[in-house]
């Protein structure tokens, strides 16, 4: 039997995987047995050495990584392809969404974005009592978790204070499910204090929602707006991101003689190579895969010219510490002013490089820089610009150390603050922390409260009790549990605090 | 003018357990009680420069300069060996803060803060500093919306309270015991002033929270709990009452032989207090 067939066999016989998980891994293996889109030698070498990384998205990109449909299209106009009439009642609207989600691809084959739900559903709620709204949305929420069990699946609500947003946050806090993940879009000029408080109380309950700072995001997008998907990817609505590639900054620092060499030679080189990798993948998607012939484009759920490319970075902490050591300085990233400023300088250089490089087939002709959360096997590298697990300073110092980075990452910063459970008796403290963070320039805010069973691993949720069960008896209904268990063990994540599971984090079968 | 300085053992920029919202907390060095149950015993006394801790420091952060023990924070690795050997429960790592120093800290962290809390040790042993600081905050355009709180054991006499209350928004007050013999055993002092302080703070609308430390076999007796219920009822049944629990964390000396307080007993006592009519009993979020 060839190696490949052995792998196929191994997957079909792995007792820890459900049959859907097996099917997914089999399809990934099949795709990855194809030759990689042709890369020049230098780029191929950098990829091989994992200085740059394609997130193991697969060898033949035939769908965008993140698809952010404008679901109002299917609700208002129906769908010829899916033989759906326009929705006229809340039941019909929810039903159409449930159908629609099954036809929205992503890197994991499950939808990563299920809509700005309050905008979508409010028009159908006039005749619906509060009690009915609660019952219907609760069933909807249960459906999402059980049928689309991917922790990267992401719903958005806000910034207005409305019945749907309130009811969804209430249900989410009650059910404490892994899926869907939830973002509350906050805007001090639009959101009421009451709904902001509700969001903070819900974080204390279940580490969700994530809060997005609308005044910082909105100006970067057009009137069509944006959505937050997966782990805090802020992307154009009615489009998405073709691909996500990333630079391992630690590896770049290791290949540099000193800080000057890093800035003058080595970083620019890998920035360029990562662009080439991105371009090759985009080319395949746009020019070979036929994806944009899909009914999603024809019916207007998405538009071919609204896809950006996410240009990710990670291991900023290790990169800065490495450069500090090369300069003979002891100060550590997150704790030392010089180290922190070096980090900010790196972010700025990256930002300028991404903003000035023209990119074909990209929304507005360029990629968007992203502070990337990580995979489950990142080998001691810290996600994005985060401070390493277990060594974070108090939450205020933490925010102060990182705030300056946020301006440089228009497609989002995956950041998580760990709060100890004494915050339970004092939600006002959490509110002030969020307000302080936003005032200092944080684009988004996520927190884990340390006694919550439901916790974030690298941006997606896991239940700690599921990880324990998974280790005991080897199996979980939810895909992200596999990743979470892996991330928890290799990423020291539980040292930082608890989290959940995701498909995106397990892009390969790893046995 | 002789501007007061504070002897500070620690500053926190984030605390959600020292009053409403997030607070900058200044822990002042020195206390007028000597509770065996203290979980920060090294905050009790002011250093007398005896020098005993200097040779114990593994990093050379402690030196004697002109008869004074000096601490170099930049090379201290926070091993706390100096605290362990100090014969009088003092701390060589304290810092002197002027009012302006604290104002600068507040400016830097303002977006994150709902207020400031002065804790200890016993905060009110450095009363002049607190009055000067709170007055400065209240008259500063950028800081005046911050609330000013004190965490106290209540031993400060009434006339002194009257000098600080006009610039104070709230006080968290510890009551250690109602039986005065027990109180003396637990603190070395009588409780009359503490109980008088509680009434004074309540009457002036500044009693933010009462705190009561449950110690098994000592302050959790039926009589004590009944006295506690009666005392709170006489103020207002809705007075926030936080039940703290005796734990070994940080404790030095004989109290390490005392049993720690367990969650089920705390819940039972909280229920008893609620059935006695108290409507605002808070139990710990965490048991360490
Ligand atoms: S904690 Fe005390 S003994 Fe330890 S290094 Fe610092 S000063 Fe020295
Ligand atoms: S801290 Fe204690 S041991 Fe050290 S000099 Fe002061 S009194 Fe002596």
Closest protein CA for atom 6 of ligand 2: B47
Dist. CA A432–CA B112, nearest whole Å:
5
CA distances from A488 to A118, A171, A500, A502, B58 (A): 34, 27, 10, 12, 35
- In whole angstroms, give the CA distance from residue A480 to residue A154: 14
- Shortest CB distance from A397 goes to which of B13, B20, B113? B13
State whether B114 and A429 contact (CB < 8 Å): yes
Instruction: Give ∠ CA A442-A344-A43 in degrees, rounded to 5.
Output: 110
Q: Which candidate, B8, B40, B45, places its Cα nearest to that of B27?
A: B8
What is the H or E stretch that residue A107 is in? none
pLDDT at A421: 78
**Tens digit of pLDDT for each residue in B75-106?**
898 888 999 999 999 999 999 999 999 999 99
The whole-chain average pLDDT of chain A stands at 88
The pLDDT value recorded for residue A501 is 39
Exposure of B165 in the CB half-sphere (CA atoms within 13 A)? 20
Confidence band of A222 (pLDDT split at 50, 70, 90): confident
Quick one: pLDDT at residue A487? 56
Pairwise CA distance, residues A23 & A19, whole Å: 6
Query: Looking at residue A178, what is its pLDDT?
Result: 84
**Res A50 pLDDT > 70:** yes
The answer to whether the Cβ–Cβ distance between A430 and B16 falls below 8 Å is yes
Task: Kindly report the length of chain A.
Answer: 511
Rounded percentage of chain B residues whose pLDDT exceeds 90: 82
Average pLDDT, chain B: 93
Closest Cα to atom 2 of ligand 2: B86
Q: Does B75 touch chain A (CB under 8 A)?
A: no
pLDDT at A482 over 60: no
Structural domain spans, chain B:
5-42+94-282, 47-85
Answer whether residue B131 shows pLDDT above 50: yes
State whether the beta carbon of B72 lies less than 6 angstroms from ligand 1: no
Q: Which residues on adjacent β-strands are paired with residue A364? A: none
Inter-CA distances, A502 with A21, A29, A59, A148, A241, Å: 12, 18, 20, 11, 18
**Spatial distance between the Cα atoms of B240 and A362, rounded to a whole number of angstroms:** 58
B69 lines ligand 1 (CB under 6 A): no
Q: A227, A204, A241: which is closest to A55 by C-alpha?
A: A241
B21 in reach of chain A (CB within 8 A):
yes
Is residue B130 a contact partner of residue B37, using CB atoms and an 8 Å limit?
A: no
Task: Please report which residue ranges of A14-58 form alpha helices under DSSP H.
Answer: 19-32, 41-48
Percentage with pLDDT > 90 across chain A: 65
Decide if pLDDT at A133 tops 70: yes
Q: What is the mean pLDDT of residues B246-271?
A: 90
Q: Which CA distances in Å does B123 have to B43, B130, B201?
A: 11, 8, 16
With bands split at pLDDT 50, 70 and 90, how would you rate the model's confidence at A498?
A: very low
- Residue extents of the structural domains in chain A: 3-33, 71-220, 233-452
How do residues B137-188 score in pLDDT, each as one tens digit?
A: 999 999 999 999 999 999 999 999 999 999 999 999 999 999 999 999 999 9
- Say how many CA atoms lie within 13 Å of A335 toward its Cβ: 12
Higher pLDDT, A465 or A419: A419
pLDDT of A469 over the 80 cut: no
- Give the mean pLDDT of B27-33: 94
Are B285 and A397 inside 8 Å of each other by CB?
no
What are the structure tokens assigned to A197, written together? Answer: 């408080």
Residues A263-312 pLDDT 10s: 999 999 999 999 999 999 999 999 999 999 999 999 999 999 999 999 99
Q: Do domains B5-42+94-282 and B47-85 have the same CATH topology?
A: no
Identify whether the C-beta of residue A43 lies closer than 8 Å to the C-beta of residue A280. Answer: yes
Instruction: Using most ligand atoms within 8 A of CB, pick from B42, B74, B81 the residue to mutate for ligand 1.
Output: B81
Whether the pLDDT of residue B31 is over 80: the answer is: yes
Ligand nearest to the CA of B79: 1
Residue A114 is predicted with a pLDDT of 96
Ramachandran region of residue B91, left (φ > 0), alpha (ψ -120 to 50) or beta?
Answer: beta
Is the confidence metric ipTM above 0.90 for this complex? no
For domain B47-85, the CATH class is alpha beta
A460 pLDDT band (50/70/90 cuts)? low
Provide the 10 A C-beta neighbour count for residue A466: 21
Q: How confident is the model at residue A230 (pLDDT cuts 50, 70, 90)?
A: confident
Q: A248 pLDDT exceeds 60? A: yes
CA distances from A349 to A207, A277, A343, A408 (A): 33, 19, 10, 9
Q: Residue B57: which residues within 8 A CB-CB, separation 6 or more?
A: B76, B81, B82
Task: Compute the distance between CA of residue B159 and CA of residue A40 in angstroms, rounded to an integer.
Answer: 83
The residue of A193, A338, A392, A396 whose CB has the most chain B CBs within 10 angstroms, and thus the best one to mutate to test that interface, is A396
Query: Which parts of B236-283 fold into alpha helices (H)?
Result: 263-275
Instruction: Verify whether the Cβ–Cβ distance A399 to B22 is below 8 Å.
Output: no
* Substitution target from A336, A422, A426, A452 for chain B, most B beta carbons within 10 A: A426
Contact B112 A425 (CB under 8 A): no
> Which CATH number describes the domain made up of B5-42+94-282?
3.20.20.70
Q: What is the pLDDT confidence band of residue A483, given thresholds at 50, 70 and 90? A: low
Instruction: Choose the closest CB to B112 out of A419, A421, A432.
Output: A432
**Residue among A460, A302, A308, A456 at smallest CA distance from A389:** A456
Q: Which whole number is the average pLDDT over B259-285?
A: 93
Q: How confident is the model at residue B251 (pLDDT cuts 50, 70, 90)?
A: confident
Out of A50-59, A75-84, A266-275, pick the least confident.
Answer: A50-59
Per-residue pLDDT of A317-363, as tens digits, reads 999 999 999 999 989 998 899 999 999 999 999 999 999 999 999 99
pLDDT band at A237; cut points 50, 70, 90 = very high
Closest approach atom of ligand 2 to CA B45: 7
pLDDT of residue A353: 97
pTM to 2 decimal places: 0.85
Alpha helices in A79-208 (DSSP H): 90-101, 117-121, 130-147, 163-175, 193-206
> Any residues with CB less than 8 A from the CB of A235 and at least 6 apart, and which?
A66, A68, A113, A226, A227, A228, A229, A241, A308, A310, A368, A411
Residue range A228-255: mean pLDDT, rounded: 93
Q: What is the pLDDT of residues A196-210, one digit of tens each?
A: 999 999 999 888 999
Q: Can you tell me the distance from the alpha carbon of A363 to that of A303, in angstroms, rounded to the nearest whole number?
A: 10
Residue nearest to atom 4 of ligand 1 (CA): B79
How many A from CA of B183 to the centre of ligand 2?
28
Residue-level pLDDT at A317? 94
Spatial separation of the C-alpha atoms in residues A243 and A57, rounded to whole Å: 8
pLDDT in the model for residue A425: 82
Reported as a single tens digit per residue, the pLDDT across A17-27 is 888 888 888 98
How sure is the predictor about A414, in pLDDT bands with cuts at 50, 70 and 90? confident
Q: Residue A372: which of A502, A232, A493 has the closest Cα?
A: A232
Please tell me whether residue A46 adopts helix, strand or coil conformation. Answer: helix
Q: Report whether A346 contacts A339 (CB < 8 A).
A: no
The CA distance from A401 to the nearest CA of chain B, in Å, is: 12
Contacts of A441 in chain B (CB under 8 A): none
pLDDT mean over A218-239:
90
Put simply, the answer to whether A396 touches B14 (Cβ < 8 Å) is: yes
Fold type of domain A233-452: Anaerobic Ribonucleotide-triphosphate Reductase Large Chain (3.20.70)
| Mutation choice for ligand 2 from B41, B44, B53, B63, CB with most ligand atoms inside 8 A | B53
Give me the residue from A420, A421, A440 closest to B111, CB to CB: A440
CA distances from A282 to A36, A37, A313 (A): 13, 10, 18
Confidence check: pLDDT of A511 > 80? no
């Amino acid at each position: 039997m060839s190696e490949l067939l052995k792998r196929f066999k191994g997957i079909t016989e792995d007792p820890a995987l459900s049959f859907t998980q097996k099917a997914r891994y089999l399809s990934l293996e099949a795709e990855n047995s194809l030759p990689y889109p042709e890369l020049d030698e230098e780029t191929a070498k950098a990829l091989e050495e994992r200085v740059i990384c394609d997130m193991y998205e697969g060898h033949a990109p035939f769908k965008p990584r993140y698809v952010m449909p404008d679901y109002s299209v299917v609700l208002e106009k129906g769908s010829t392809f899916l033989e759906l009439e326009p929705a006229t009642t809340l039941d019909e609207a929810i039903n159409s969404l449930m159908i629609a989600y099954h036809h929205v691809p992503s890197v994991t084959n499950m939808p990563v974005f299920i809509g700005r739900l309050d905008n979508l559903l409010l028009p159908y709620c006039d005749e619906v009592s509060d009690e009915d709204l609660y019952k219907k949305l609760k069933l909807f929420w249960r459906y999402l978790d059980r049928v689309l069990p991917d922790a990267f699946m992401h719903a958005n609500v806000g910034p207005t204070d409305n019945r749907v947003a309130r009811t969804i946050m209430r249900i989410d806090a009650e059910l404490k499910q892994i899926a869907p993940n939830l973002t509350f879009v906050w805007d001090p000029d639009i959101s009421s204090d009451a709904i902001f408080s509700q969001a903070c109380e819900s974080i204390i309950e279940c580490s969700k929602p994530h809060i997005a700072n609308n005044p910082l995001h909105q100006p970067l997008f057009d009137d069509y707006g944006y959505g937050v998907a997966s782990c805090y990817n802020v992307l154009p609505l009615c489009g998405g991101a073709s691909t996500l590639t990333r630079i391992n900054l630690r590896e770049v620092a290791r290949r540099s003689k000193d800080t000057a060499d890093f800035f003058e030679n080595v970083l620019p080189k890998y920035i360029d190579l990562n662009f080439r990798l991105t371009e090759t993948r985009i080319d395949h998607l746009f020019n070979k895969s036929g994806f944009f012939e899909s009914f999603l484009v024809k019916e207007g759920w998405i538009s071919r010219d609204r896809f950006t490319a996410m240009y990710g970075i990670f291991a900023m902490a290790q990169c800065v510490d490495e450069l500090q050591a090369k300069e003979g300085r002891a100060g550590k990233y997150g704790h030392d002013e010089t180290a922190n400023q070096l980090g900010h300088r790196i972010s700025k250089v990256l930002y300028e490089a991404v903003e000035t490089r023209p990119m074909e087939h990209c929304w507005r002709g360029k990629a968007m820089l992203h502070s990337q959360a990580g995979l489950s096997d990142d080998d001691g590298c810290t996600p994005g610009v985060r401070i390493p697990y277990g060594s974070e300073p108090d939450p205020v110092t933490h925010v102060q150390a990182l705030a300056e980075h946020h301006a440089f990452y228009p497609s989002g910063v995956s950041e998580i603050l760990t709060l100890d459970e004494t915050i339970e008796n004092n939600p006002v403290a959490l509110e002030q922390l969020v307000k302080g963070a936003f005032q200092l320039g944080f684009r988004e805010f996520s927190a884990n409260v340390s006694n919550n069973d439901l916790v974030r691993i690298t941006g997606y949720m896991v239940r700690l009790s599921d990880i324990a069960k998974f280790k005991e008896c080897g199996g979980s209904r939810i895909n992200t549990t596999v990743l979470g268990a892996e991330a928890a063990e290799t990423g020291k994540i539980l040292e930082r605090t608890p989290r959940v599971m995701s498909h995106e984090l397990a892009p390969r079968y790893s046995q | 003018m002789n501007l007061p300085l504070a002897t500070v053992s620690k500053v926190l920029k984030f605390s959600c357990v020292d009053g409403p919202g997030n607070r900058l907390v200044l822990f002042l060095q020195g206390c007028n009680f000597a509770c065996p149950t203290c979980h920060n015993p090294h905050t009790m006394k002011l250093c007398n420069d005896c020098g005993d801790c200097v040779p114990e420091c593994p990093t050379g952060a402690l030196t004697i300069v002109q008869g004074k023990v000096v601490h170099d924070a930049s090379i201290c690795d926070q091993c706390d060996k100096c605290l362990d050997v100090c014969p009088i429960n003092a701390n060589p790592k304290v810092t002197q803060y002027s009012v302006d120093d604290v104002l600068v800290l507040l400016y830097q962290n303002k977006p994150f803060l709902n207020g400031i809390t002065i804790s200890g040790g016993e905060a009110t042993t450095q009363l002049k500093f607190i009055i000067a600081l709170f007055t400065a905050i209240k008259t500063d355009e950028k800081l005046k919306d911050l609330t000013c709180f004190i965490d106290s054991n209540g031993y400060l006499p009434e006339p002194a309270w009257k000098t600080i209350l006009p610039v104070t928004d709230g006080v968290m007050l510890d009551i250690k015991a109602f039986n005065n013999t027990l109180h003396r055993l637990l603190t070395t002092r009588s409780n009359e002033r503490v109980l008088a302080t509680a009434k004074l703070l309540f009457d002036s609308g500044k009693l933010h929270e009462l705190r009561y430390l449950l110690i098994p076999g000592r302050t959790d007796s039926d009589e004590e709990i009944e006295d506690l219920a009666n005392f709170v009822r006489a103020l207002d049944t809705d007075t926030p009452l936080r039940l703290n629990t005796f734990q070994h964390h940080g404790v030095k000396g004989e109290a390490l032989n005392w049993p720690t307080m367990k969650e089920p007993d705390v819940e039972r006592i909280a229920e008893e207090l609620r059935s006695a009519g108290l409507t605002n009993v808070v139990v710990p979020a965490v048991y360490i």
